[in-house]
A and B are shown apart, each in its own frame.
Chain A
């Protein structure tokens, strides 16, 4: 059971908008720690998609956006494309675990 909870799967048609939630608690996201998001394409290493809750690294399309409120965070993908089909993970810290870095369980995005 992951400290951060994500839906196992989401789906959407090309061109649509989808969101992926990441729910934590007052010990992690709610404590003010940043949330980062990663995209893992099949058979490859994860890639940083969003850092510091809502910032995109250079090269990440602005179709991807992140937000945080209270004990939850969200990743939004607009103008869905077939190449977005991947697993997505949120990551933060947890102060109950000696400041350990923690991941969500991951969400599989299927482009219909």
Chain B
């Protein structure tokens, strides 16, 4: 059974770059969509984007100018980089995978944007 684990800094300064990694265990990245989703405190879920196992990507249009999702299949990891962060980017960030649905989720990691 595939498991996902997010990692990265819990605190990022405004205007800097948020960088997170999701490590995949119990399976390979040779299929499925690999996504990032976030949830601001007390609010709902927002899809950030995905990278397909082929390497193609699709991003939320509202975030597209600031984000990059990449993968390292040899390390069984995929990553999110979001630049020019503000307090509005404070959220729990989840990685998730599946085809049509998000079948498997990581436990999430809280990222706070503050000076």
Contact = CB atoms under 8 A, between A and B. Distances in A.
Interface of A: 2, 34, 36, 38, 44-48, 51-52, 57, 89, 91, 97-106
Contacts of B101: 34, 36, 48, 51-52, 91
15 contacts: A2-B44, A45-B94, A45-B106, A45-B108, A46-B105, A47-B105, A48-B102, A51-B100, A52-B100, A89-B44, A91-B101, A97-B61, A102-B47, A103-B46, A103-B47
B100 A99 contact: no
B100 to A, nearest CB: 5
Given A45-B108, A101-B35, A103-B46, A51 B103 contact: yes
Given A45-B105, A45-B107, A34 B100 contact: yes
A-B CB proximity, top 9 nearest: A36-B101, A51-B101, A106-B44, A101-B47, A45-B105, A103-B45, A105-B44, A45-B108, A34-B100
Interface string B49-74: 01000000011110000000000000
Contacts of A47: 105
Interface footprint category on B: 20 to 34
A46 B44 CA distance: 11
Contacts, number: 58
Given A46-B102, A89-B45, A103-B45, 11 more contacts: A34-B100, A45-B105, A45-B108, A51-B103, A97-B60, A97-B61, A98-B58, A99-B58, A100-B61, A103-B47, A105-B44
